[in-house]
Structures are given as structure tokens and as C-alpha cells.
Structure 1
Amino acid sequence: MNYTGRYGLEINPFIKNGKDVLVETNEYKEVKFRLNYLLQTKGFGVLTGGAGRGKTTSVRQWANELNPAAYKVVYISLSTVTVIEFYRQMAMNLGIDPYYKKVDNFRAIQAIIEKYKREK
């Protein structure tokens, strides 16, 4: 069925990731407020919710509004990772060759974040 023509839509809303459609609901505004709070406090957060609830779209929209000269956004799409896998993914996304030991990855991540902080 041609949903776009029949209902006068600009895009087909049923195509997954066809185009990020953002509806500024109260939930989106709350997510944005909390992400901005984490940004101000230099915090670390986890966003959870059911499939198709707009988590990725919301975070991508928010991250696109950040100054790329001042912030480095790291996206890890795996939802079932161990701590060591998380550290390895984070290290690779920050341009570090990952270490074998968790503590070494943790220290390397801390060091690169401190370096980014000093430089930016």
C-alpha cells in the first residue's frame, strides 16, 4: 500500500531507519533534559527502553547538536557486552589500541579523556 500518497506523508514511517523522524514528545524532551544534565555535570548515563521507542533517534539528534570541536561522541551499539568488551570498544572508538587487561584499558581511556579535556 502506498501510505505516503494515501495519507499525504513525506516519508514512509514504517521503514526502519529509513529516515530519523523526531517527534518532540514529552518523553523526548525529558531525555534531552537528562542528556543535557549529564553534559553539564560531565556525567555518564545509560538510556534504556523498549524496542522502537526512539532511544537511538533521540540520542543521535541530541549528539548532532553538540559542537564536534568540543565533544567526541562514541556510539557502542552492542547491548550485551561484558565490562572488558565495553572497555575494549570504548578504547577502539577513542583511537587506542585495546589492551588485554581491563585495568590497562581503563587507565588508557582515562588518560585519553584527560588529554581531550586539556586540549579542548
Structure 2
Amino acid sequence: MNRLLSTFGFTRSPFSKDISPSEMFQTDQFQEAMLGLKAAIEGRTSAVVTGDSGSGKTCLIRALEQDLPQGRYRLHYTANATVNRRDFYRQISIGMGLEAHSSFAALYSTVSQHIQDLAVQHKLWVILVLDEAHLLHIQVLEQLHILLNFEKDSKPWLSLILVGLPDLRETLRRNLLASLAARIPIRLQISPLDAEQVKLYVRHRMNAAGCRRDIFSDDALLLMSKATGGILRRVDVLGDHCLAVAMKTKAGVIDATVVQKALQSCGEAL
């Protein structure tokens, strides 16, 4: 790592996952999605965010959490989506610092009452983010519409944000989930970057890591865009391999030849 930093003048690893929300690369699409989530929260409703794996959905949620006023909102995040209905509410209960009862009925009652207490007594609006929501059991999804509207007047006490792969949209079209789908009016899609955005993204990461010169040539960036399909996580993986190849071969600039060698070393990682 130290050799990499000194060779290219980085102050840190440029393609690391450990990047603060304030330094994230924000495309017009990212900003539109952020506005959509804020509109859902401020409008006391819910949203779905879909996109390919590695497209930046979780980064979007991280940025949202940092941007929300702590005195007005309480965001709870969970990504363990493969559990049954009872264990689903148990993990939410634990995440909220509540007692983890053994029965589903007790768990649901505790969670729903806590959400209502936060809204009424503490004036805190709850945002429940369910990542990897495309993996949720259908029984869990069926139950969510009740959590959204557990008062007789159907007044919601929280905003639900479902985050998952594109097939989550198809799942929500099932007839048995019509009640849930009707309560989630905002649908947001995170698409892969185009070639120009990949170029801007890589240079943004270089600058954020302290490098002010263009290490990647235009032909290298174009090849990276084609090879990764514009998926951020893949760009990061390939970028790391490119830097490793360049350092090994003592290349001062990363061109298409370096990228080709990096692609060979990536293997299944890409």
C-alpha cells in the first residue's frame, strides 16, 4: 500500500470502499434519487430503490442518512433479508434497542408501538431501510403494508425504503402484494454509468485520493467502461488491478494495454 501511495502521489487508496458520503461521486441521477427519497420522507410516504448489484444503492442510503437532521428523523437499516417473518421483526426489534420477544405477535406489537411512540411523544419520524429487499420472503413483504398502516385511520408512522435488485419491481407487481405496492408510490432506479460518467468518476476518485494528474488515458477509461458495464463496484475493482499492474510494470500512465492486463488478473473478482 505504501508503495502504491508513493508511486502515484496518493494520500490514500483511491478505490477504497471507505469513502465519506460528502466525497461520493454524484451524478445527476444520484442527485435525482436523493431528491426522490427526501420527497418520500418529507411527504410521509415510502419508496423503492432498485439497481444492479454494485451500482451505488447503499452509497445513496449512506448519503441520505448523513444528510437527514438527527433531531427530526430516526433511520433504521437492515440488510439481513433471508429470514422468516418472526426473525425479521426480531432483528428490527434488536436494531431499535427493544426486547426481542419469542413470538411474532409480541415482536410486531413492540416494534409498532415503539414507532408510534417515537412519532407522537418524541416527534421523530422513523425511516426503515430494508436493503437486499429482493431477497425478502413473500410472507415478510405481505406483512409490511400492515406495519405501514397499523392505525384505524390508516395514518402512517414511518417511511419504508425498499432497496434491491431490479427484479424487486417485478415482485411488487404480484397481486398478493397489491396493498403494499399501493403504499409505495415513489419508484427510483439507479442505472449504470455511461462512458463519460465512468471517466469523470475515475478522475473524481483520483482527485479525492490526492492525485492531481490524469493517470488513466482516455482509451483506458473507455475500455474500463465497456469491461465493467458502468457498474461502480466493478470500476473500483478494475481500477485497483490497473494500479497494481502499472506499479508492477513501472508504467507512468495507465493505457488500454495496462487495462487489458488488469482484466486478465481480475478473474471472477470482476
Per the normalisation by structure 2, the TM-score is 0.39
Q: 1:4–1:11: 8 Å Cα contact kept in structure 2?
A: no
When the two structures are aligned, how many residues end up with a matched partner?
118
SS in 2 for 1:73: strand
Are 1:32 and 2:72 an aligned pair? no
- 1:65 paired residue number: 67
CA shift at 1:5, angstroms? 5.5
Q: 1:3 to 1:48 in 2, by over 3 A?
A: farther
Asked if the contact 2:4/2:10 (under 8 Å) is kept, the reply is no
Q: RMSD in angstroms over aligned alpha carbons?
A: 2.4
SS of residue paired to 1:95? coil
Aligned counterparts of 1:46 and 1:89: Cα–Cα separation in 2: 21
Q: Which residue of 2 aligns with 1:18?
A: 18
Q: Summarize deviations over 1:31-64 as a string: whole Å, max 9, x none.
A: 2122112202323444333232111211111111
Change (3 A) 1:66 1:5: farther
Higher relative contact order (CA 8 A, sep 6+): 2
Larger radius of gyration: 2
- Whole-Å separation in 2 of the counterparts to 1:73 and 1:54: 19
2:27 and 2:55 map into 1 onto residues whose CA distance is 11
In 2, distance between residues paired with 1:28 and 1:60?
12
Asked if the contact 1:4/1:12 (under 8 Å) is kept, the reply is no
Matches within 5 A, 1:43-82: 43-82=45-84
Cα distance change of structure 1 residues 4 and 110 upon mapping to structure 2, 3 Å threshold: farther
Alpha-carbon distance, 1:85 to partner: 2.2
* Structure 1 gap segments, 5+ residues each: none
Counterpart secondary structure, 2:25? coil
Structure whose residues are more often strand by fraction: 2
